[in-house]
Amino acid sequence: MAETFEIHYAGEWAALYVGGRLVIVGDTYRTEEEALSLLGVRTVHDDAFMRGQTQRDGVAATVGDIVTYRVERDRRQAEADRLRAEARRLLAEADVLGAPGPGGERS
């Protein structure tokens, strides 16, 4: 039989008991993190599971869907960054070409 995990709460404090024995007591979030860690739960702080939208029914159905979205999102961001850098380069080039030449005239 698997060990039982219990978290007991009192306001912002919580205690984690595993198999009836105290493992940790402290802030609720810290106690929950410890329980998740002991259970082997991987926590991921990335909104890719929302797939760029804000509705519950739009959430990724599988971790594979999340990975696919994240790869595409990162590809789009890299392309946007590349285009912004190119735009800055072109604007700088235009500024040089549009600068007044000798005698005050524009080239």
Structural domain of 28: 1-43
Separation of alpha carbons 15 and 27, rounded Å: 9
Helices (H), the chain: 28-39, 63-98
Instruction: Give the chain's domain count.
Output: 2
Residues 37 and 4 in one domain: yes
Q: What are phi and psi of 68, to 5 degrees?
A: -60, -45
Task: Tell me if the pTM is above 0.75.
Answer: no
Helix, strand, coil percentages for the chain (3-state, nearest 5): 55, 20, 25
SS3 84: helix
Q: Over the stretch 76-104, which tens digit does the pLDDT of each residue have?
A: 999 999 999 999 999 999 999 998 877 65
Same domain, 4 and 24: yes
**Token pair listed for 47:** 């909104």
Alpha-carbon distance of 57 to 50, in angstroms, equals 9
| Residues 77 and 34 grouped into a single domain | no
Instruction: Tell me if 105 is assigned to some domain.
Output: no
pLDDT digits (tens, 9 = 90+) for 6-59: 999 999 999 999 999 999 999 999 999 999 999 999 999 999 999 999 999 999
